[in-house]
Structure 1
């Protein structure tokens, strides 16, 4: 069915439901989302995915029957039909995420909105079945509506916005919007003060997106006025949410739930949701994400990685260096000769490392050490004293170009087995490094560049198209929320290198190297 057909048929259905509803008027605020808003937004997101619509039809029929009939024996079945629909939507969102990973945060916002809808379905079922959630029935119902509007529609809308305009503030504002539903829920459950703080956090995100919405270039001025109005409605309703949370936390104001129902019902349903959907239906920006396509090593491990993994893939050839010629990456003349020579004649050098786990990550590092010694991969020491790494570089056949395995050890313990290769995209050559893991592999695509006589190797995708850290599993390439960076420099015939690792942009591991010519 076309988008116009869905809009007309579902609008007619909702008007019939509204006319014959036996429930209090405010229940229509959730019903209009379930019958009209959610199907329309899913159509904008999934476009030609017609399979999802086979789940939409029974879901909206079930909701409609619930709204126009008195309590009956089939209420449980009808509610579960809608819950199944929200679960399918969540699985579609999860599949979108798995096929892409932590890249294109605007698409991640849409994925999270789809997954949050299932939580809304759970609260809806709890409301229909009158399950004791620890809250009053009205608060149980309000939580369900919260996860349909603020947790489904809003993340999708900010995802559409990010497809068009994504400044440096966008990821941070998106993170606020995505975590706020959970923080609000925790605050309502455990602490009125936390609820108050979470609403303040929400305000930062909402007003930030109002500003971004004003700056975006749209299809036309009519679309801009609709979308800015939609986001602006949230800027009004969040103020009264703040007054309500303030009253709960400090007993200062007396904003009642009845007032919130009437006020939010008008602004959130008619202005934020309806106006927003009309605005984005004029022109829905296409996704910027392009499927990742670069060579992936066919070598994976099992319960143990270590040197055993080389037995089936080792070929009778050795290498002295990690690369044959550094000029394929950078202008060698702009670098000190020793840096290029280290990569081309790696086995002529001694490597001394000092591992520093950042304090907040040490408990996780200690836990991982229980497995890494057996795994013999990423088996970094917990101590911060300097230790020499030794090893070999051997030829490997893994389906990529001139792959070589760099085996690094500390004394007799295997620390790393990294499989080095290269690939070229858009006339830029990358280091393509694979670390075999049990039944999968971690892939580091590093871009190389000269910086003031130093060599920078980085996985930051902002600097190059393919750069990043990925998990490869059965043909799926999942971008991880990790970043790594090497900075090499020469001073007095000694090479030093600083290797930094971050997760969600937070540093968790730093390794300092001294590299000496044998």
Structure 2
């Protein structure tokens, strides 16, 4: 890395002009939304502790993602300017994110199965749909690759899946799953589906050549393979959970190895190449996600017939969920925002 320009100065592969980021009082709307969301989230935690706000602990992870992580992550992604096809969804997502997140929080506190709960989730579904349109616009503007950009696109495209499962949870629709699984799937796609691919793509830029491709070395090819497995594995795990325990376990194993491999690259090559504070945040994120992937592997192994359960769902919520939220997603997204300047 020593023969490259500083990481903070690296630019994405050029495509076309980008949408200007909406600002208020000279500040990015996404930054202001993330700060305000942080304050609101802390208020929710306080209200949950003293019993004045009827939100389950797992719902606090959803609230954190909607109020803080989505504006943080979406705010650092460059969206190509392409008439109204992308500009309108982009502005709608940026401006509508805050109010939609508040409506989603209210939905989590509303009676499950009520019309009010379902209606309150619809703004978030619209906002995440707009984010997905931005991801599609990025993808079509480039016509494909390179891999870090595809990972970013995937994060934007996956997030409506999270909103869809939250709508199902609000409606009391669980299909053939336990109700908690539907809610946890909504959580999963905010973190593993949105935050993880964004971080992989945004930090992966630092590891690429000037044309956006990974070097034709063993480590470069391994990082490229890990990026592909992470992007595809998120979907394969969901398919496995739905249809086949064997597919689920194989997908989780491959996903775990890929994430751990990328985390090692972060620690070895990205952390030393960036400024101290974002480097520290990325180091915390890399170590944290290795721990959460080990827990995910232990949990998935129990889906095979005759395999004892190594960790329960409540334990996964407590340890996997909390470390993913505060050890990985929040530090990593803060780091990439700091690297942008």
The TM-score, its normalising length taken from structure 1, stands at 0.52
Matched, 1:164 2:206: yes
Q: Which residue of 2 aligns with 1:376?
A: none
Contact 1:17–1:68 at 8 Å: present in 2 too?
A: no
Match of 2:285 in 1: 230
Report the CA distance between 1:225 and its aligned residue.
1.9
Deviation of 1:73 after TM superposition, in Å, equals 3.6
8 Å Cα contact 2:230-2:259 kept in structure 1? yes
Q: In structure 1, what is the equivalent of residue 103 of structure 2? A: 62
* 1:153 counterpart = 2:186: no
Which residue number in structure 2 is paired with residue 359 of structure 1?
A: none
Distance 1:85 1:50, change over 3 A: closer
The answer to whether the 8 A contact 1:126-1:133 is kept is no
Distance 1:83 1:146 in 2: 16
Change (3 A) 1:237 1:229: same
CA RMSD in angstroms, aligned pairs only: 2.0
Q: Please report how far the alpha carbon of residue 69 of structure 1 lies from its aligned counterpart in structure 2 after TM superposition.
A: 4.2
Equivalent pair of 2:100/2:123 in contact (CA under 8 Å): yes
Match of 2:256 among 198, 203, 208: 203
Query: Separation in 1 of the partners of 2:335 and 2:36?
Result: 19
User: Where in structure 1 are there 5+ consecutive unaligned residues?
Assistant: 286-518
Structure 2 contact 165–186 (Cα < 8 Å) conserved: yes
Aligned pairs, how many? 285
Runs of 4+ with deviation above 6 angstroms: none
Does 16-25 or 234-243 show the bigger shift? 16-25
Judged with a 3 Å threshold, the aligned counterparts in structure 2 of structure 1 residues 46 and 22 are, in CA distance, closer, same or farther, namely: farther
Q: Please report how far the alpha carbon of residue 50 of structure 1 lies from its aligned counterpart in structure 2 after TM superposition.
A: 4.6
The answer for unaligned runs of 5 or more in structure 2 is 1-23, 81-89, 209-219
User: Kindly tell me: are residues 62 and 218 of structure 1, through their superposed partners in 2, closer, same or farther at Cα, counting changes over 3 Å?
Assistant: farther
- Report the 3-state secondary structure (helix = DSSP H, G, I; strand = E; otherwise coil) of the residue aligned with 1:77: helix
Q: 1:8 aligns with which of 25, 35, 48?
A: 35
Q: CA deviation at 1:46?
A: 4.1
Q: Which residue of 1 aligns with 2:297?
A: 242
Matched, 1:53 2:108: no
Which gives a bigger RCO, structure 1 or 2 (Cα 8 Å, sep 6+)?
Answer: 2
Once residues 54 and 193 of structure 1 are traced to their aligned partners in structure 2, the CA distance between those partners, rounded to angstroms, is 43
- CA positional deviation for 1:135: 0.7
**Contact kept in structure 2, 1:29 and 1:265, CA below 8 Å:** yes
- 3-state DSSP class of the match of 1:168? helix
Counterpart CA distance in 2 for 1:163 and 1:284 is: 12
Q: Which string of whole-angstrom CA distances, capped at 9 and with x for unpartnered residues, describes residues 75-94 of structure 1? A: 22111111111111101100
Offset, 1:162: 1.5
- Report whether the alignment pairs 1:126 with 2:168: yes
The structure carrying a bigger helix percent of its residues is 2
Q: Which has the higher strand share?
A: 1
List per-residue Cα deviations over 1:365-409 (Å, max 9, x = no partner).
xxxxxxxxxxxxxxxxxxxxxxxxxxxxxxxxxxxxxxxxxxxxx
Residues 207 and 235, structure 1, Cα contact 8 Å, conserved in 2? yes
Q: For 2:182 and 2:266, locate their aligned partners in 1 and report how far apart those are by CA, in whole Å.
A: 32
In structure 2, how many angstroms separate the alpha carbons of the residues matched to 1:135 and 1:82? 23
Does the 8 Å contact 1:97/1:108 carry over to 2? yes
Report whether the alignment pairs 1:88 with 2:141.
no
Separation of aligned partners in 2, 1:99 and 1:158:
20
Indicate the residue corresponding to 2:233 in structure 1. 180
Q: Are the equivalent residues in 1 in contact too, given 2:58–2:317 (CA < 8 A)? A: yes
Query: Which whole-Å CA distance do the structure 2 matches of 1:65 and 1:132 have between them?
Result: 20
Q: Distance in 2 between matches of 1:194 and 1:185?
A: 9
SS in 2 for 1:281: helix
Pairing 1:260–2:316 present: yes
Q: Aligned residue for 2:328?
A: 272
Q: 1:65 to 1:46 in 2, by over 3 A?
A: farther
Q: Equivalences for 1:111-510 in 2 at 5 Å?
A: 111-166=153-208, 167-214=220-267, 215-216=269-270, 217-249=272-304, 250-284=306-340
**How far 1:26 moved relative to its partner?**
1.7
- More deviation in 270-279 or 86-95? 270-279
Judged with a 3 Å threshold, the aligned counterparts in structure 2 of structure 1 residues 204 and 227 are, in CA distance, closer, same or farther, namely same
- For 1:44 and 1:21, the matched residues in 2 are separated by 32
Superposed displacement of residue 268, structure 1: 0.6
CA distance in 1, matches of 2:203, 2:195: 12
